[in-house]
Amino acid sequence: MRRLHVLGFSLALLAISPTARAEVQVTFTNPESYADAALHRDRGPKGREVALKTIQEQLIRLGEQYLASNQTLKIEVLNVDLAGELEWWHGPYDIRYLRDYTWPTIRLRYTLEQDGQTVRTNEETVSDMSYQMNIIATSRSGEIMPHEKLMLARWFRSRFAAAD
């Protein structure tokens, strides 16, 4: 019985002890001036809300997957141009029409820190001009922003994944 108490106490300490975790902090600079960040037309900030939240969640998920536990990545999103366009002549429907000239593009600035020290900082434009050729993204029917998610995953992996 005494062993169970000691084991339970040890497990409780492990559960509450702080562990180092990778962190990704995402901010959006002047989202009202983004080229095309709305999944819904004519709804102002509400029209951008889902798209920006999706981008933020994807970047955080990628950080958990690829960053070392002692790293912090600060990303400032400067511009967003989603794949496709909401074409006004198709009526009031929120359907994004994907054309070969409407590839996704996200401009961002980032700072990678390790143990509190800046390791790398850069400003980049992430884009995927051949987004319609990607069978993985096009097969994800019903998923929100599959082209942007895949584009960010490729970019993130190429910049921040630890070498095996």
123 vs 119: CA distance, rounded Å: 14
pLDDT at 164: 39
- Count of C-beta atoms within a 10 Å radius of residue 155: 18
Task: Considering only residues 1 and 61, tell me which one the structure prediction assigns the higher pLDDT.
Answer: 61
The pTM is what?
A: 0.78
Residues 32-91 have pLDDT tens digits of: 999 888 877 666 677 789 999 999 999 999 999 999 999 999 999 999 998 877 665 555
Work out the percent of the chain whose per-residue pLDDT is above 70: 71
H or E element at residue 154: helix 146-160
Residues 83-113 have pLDDT tens digits of: 877 665 555 666 675 777 878 999 999 999 9
Mean of the per-residue pLDDT values for the chain?
81
Architecture of domain 21-160: 3-Layer(aba) Sandwich (3.40)
pLDDT at 13: 43
Average pLDDT over residues 12-35: 77
Would you say 75 and 105 are in contact if contact means Cβ atoms under 8 Å apart? no
